[in-house]
Amino acid sequence: MTNAERLRLGVAVGSAVALLVALARRAARATTGPLEHVATTVDRLRDDREVRADVHGPAQIRALATAVNRLADENQRSAQERAEIVQRLEELDRQKSEFVSTVSHELRTPLTSIIGYLEMLQDGDAGAMNDEQLELLAVGQRNAGRLLALIEDLLTLSRIESGQLRRDVTPVDVATLVSGVADELRPRVSGRNLALVIEAEPAVVHGDREHLERVLFNLVGNALKFTPAGGRVAVTARREDDEVVLAVCDSGIGIPADEVAHLFERFFRASTATQRAIPGTGLGLAITELLVQQHGGRIEVASEVGVGTTFTVRLPAPDREVAA
Amino acid sequence: MTDVLVIEDDSDIRGLIVSKLRRLGCVVREAATGETGLVELRQVPDLLVLDVLLPGIDGWEVLRRLRADPATADLPVLVVSIERPSSTPGLEPGRFLPKPFVARAFEDAVRGLLGASFDQER
């Protein structure tokens, strides 16, 4: 090979290499540009479900962009479906609450007349009643009262669940709360040879006074209801570390161990109660637990058949709430 | 004689309230709607017993209108309703009694609103 020939070959090889490099760069640009675009689109999809990738570039990139777009379409559709389902459920929940509220109203109107007119008969407004008539009347009155209690409980439950229950949060002294509820319930003790003992230390919780009263009223009312003559119901309140602890302890009929877990379910009634035909709606404890939970607290129960039951309510002390 | 106006749309409950008021010695006038109640109020009673859920003008609107009228601005009102009001705008001087109520609570509320003069009259 002559020198001239070597030179030509060198130039030819050099040109070929340069051309190849240029072609490779162009090919790389043609690939990375659309690929980066697809990657950016996937990134943007996190915030904006409506963006889509432009389908261009080499065939494989176009296929990738099309697949990404299809996935984005499906994602957008299912997000819309989820939103519609949530909306439907919210609407159903609102309708349910409205229904319960309307039914409660509609039931209480005739009950007002039933209770009122039965009372007039009992009071002798329509002439004196004999003992047997009064006895029959009392059955009617007792059942009207049961119906009213059931309606009130259902309405309260529905209000709590729909978040419509008004809450007026103030500092509440539990000792005052306990003595108030005890005073209100004391008439139920008289003549039954029951001891209602109060041991309450002053302690403050932040909560709705009326709701906390209801919690205590339900628990003490239950204790009195399920404790036979000669028994004892003790209500204690004290500060314990960062909690205010209310306990209602009775020497009553007790709850079988396998039923304790169901106590806070609505309409559940312990067999020890139903066997003795002790009346109740089965909603009181469900309401009590929800009200305690709304105060950031919890309720515990320990029971033994024939020995008694203790309900313990633990509410956060105000300084703990501030710290949290 | 104590003149009481009862505005209540449910005729049975109205009958119940009327009979209790008569037993207390009151002279009772009745209205089944807010509109007819407002007409009756032109002759100002000693006490108004007012239901809230009424067809047409409801109890709160009746209360608002009568409080706006100098002739009835201070009229004692006993609101008797199923729904406990969240607030009681214009209820003063007045009282709220939830339904259903027992005779004793109703009579106490009526006596409380009519004051000492009512008891002396009796």
The torsion angles phi and psi of A237, rounded to 5 degrees, stand at -140, 130
Distances in Å between the alpha carbon of B81 and those of A105, A149, A271?
10, 17, 38
Answer whether A31's CB lies under 8 Å from A61's CB: yes
Locate the chain A residue with the closest alpha carbon to B22.
A125
Taking an 8 Å cut-off on Cβ atoms, the answer to whether A108 and B82 are in contact is yes
Q: Identify the pLDDT of residue B86.
A: 60
pLDDT tens per residue across span A310-321: 999 999 998 755
Locate the chain B residue with the closest alpha carbon to A105.
B82
Dihedral sign of CA atoms A49, A50, A54, A59 in order? positive
pLDDT tens per residue across span A72-116: 999 999 999 999 999 999 898 888 878 887 888 888 999 999 999
Separation of alpha carbons A219 and A227, rounded Å:
12
**Complex ipTM:** 0.86
Confidence band, pLDDT 50/70/90 cuts, at residue B119: low
Confidence band, pLDDT 50/70/90 cuts, at residue A252: very high
Locate the chain B residue with the closest alpha carbon to A149.
B100
Q: Identify all chain A residues contacting B82, using CB atoms and an 8 Å cutoff.
A: 105, 108-109, 112
Beta bridge partners of residue A208, listed in sequence order:
A169
Instruction: Report the predicted TM-score, pTM, of the whole model to 2 decimal places.
Output: 0.68
Residue B90 in this model has a pLDDT that exceeds 70: no
Closest Cα of chain B to A90: distance in Å? 24
Judged by a CB distance cut-off of 8 A, whether residue B53 touches chain A is: yes
